[in-house]
Structure 1
């Protein structure tokens, strides 16, 4: 029901912008409504409260984000090429939507436990993609066969996350997309078997 109405996405887009510019705690529902061009009460037709709006925003936006990464890595290429596609797509998407980058890198970190649990549920799909790439690399015999997949996944996700956070903290003064090759080089060479 939520997704069928165009105002739903309008409100989510407005929320990303308002939260990125003001911070979650200073983003009143009235500011989001004004940015979306709807009455305050309209927001409550779609969301229970501001926290529900933040969760929905994350589920919707990160759901789309993860789907684009899934598509970018669903080719017949090898694990190393898929790893590059994942890194490149991650950086490309956030550089194309700087407001979303601010919200995902800064505002979602301040959430309470219950909110974090719901956010982590959404991220599971992304972590499964990383696991799959690592396993493919091991099966292709290009990555070490004694890797602790859970630890490697955390390191890959952590590195991408930190690079984007640094870019956000530096007011996006440099080209995030250009970081993909260097990050891929570091991760790939750490995973590869050297003969």
Structure 2
């Protein structure tokens, strides 16, 4: 599998930097290769094209969000606390890597429809985990019994996502993670029983 090959992660990390600094459309494969310290041809041993690199970047980094959220779901805590930890984790991962935040919040949005559909498929696992927190909260009486899970998921993810995008657009001038309690309170007020 290509992910086990030694230069795969090196290329992914280089692609995040190059795409964040130059924009997806101005990021030639040769720039990514140079940043990764590999020959141009080496890139093609791992990826079909630049689009494949962008998808792989998202897949690779989304796995981190999914794995972290999976661990959060398994802790012995209320659904409300799990929601807090989810928001905090989402902000923490992106706050710790400004290049990644720029790629996920700005560059991925400029991609074509086919690419966005692939990105939505990757995102689905994360959203399924969010649904499980919502279901748990409904079942234990923390959240409204009548909430529409799909709508609540869109509201929660949309709020987290837009808060992050605004932070990126403001050039990371403030601490994103510090917004966790405020975002959590607003969302909780909308869904709590």
TM range (shorter): over 0.9
Residues 126-151 of structure 1: CA distance to partner in whole angstroms, max 9, x if unpaired?
Answer: 11111111111111111110001100
- How far apart, CA to CA, are the structure 1 residues paired with 2:73 and 2:167? 24
Q: Are the counterparts in 2 of residues 105 and 164 from structure 1 also a CA contact under 8 Å?
A: yes
State the shift of 1:70 in Å: 1.9
**Is the 2:65–2:126 contact (alpha carbons within 8 Å) kept by the matching residues of 1?**
no
Q: Is the 8 A contact 1:91 1:164 kept in 2?
A: yes
Provide, for residues 94-140 of structure 1, a one-character-per-residue CA deviation record: whole Å limited to 9, x for no partner: 00011111000000001111111110111011111111111111111
Query: Structure 1 residue 97 and structure 2 residue 97: aligned?
Result: yes
2:60 match: 60
Contact residue 68 and residue 89 of structure 1 kept, 8 A: yes
TM-score (normalised: structure 2): 0.98
- In the other structure, the counterpart of 1:13 is 13
Equivalent position of 2:175 in the other structure = 175
Aligned position for 1:142: 142
Mapped pair 1:35 → 2:35: yes
Cα RMSD (Å)? 0.8
Structure 1 residue 65, shift from structure 2 partner: 2.2
| CA-CA distance at 1:73 after TM superposition | 2.8
Instruction: Give the paired residue count.
Output: 193
Q: Which runs of 5+ in 2 are unaligned?
A: none
TM superposition outliers: structure 1 runs of 4+ over 4 Å: none
TM-score (norm 1): 0.97
Aligned to 2:75: 75
- After superposition, residues 123-162 of structure 1 pair within 5 angstroms as 123-162=123-162
Mapped contact 1:72–1:89 kept (Cα < 8 A) = no
Q: CA deviation at 1:71?
A: 1.4
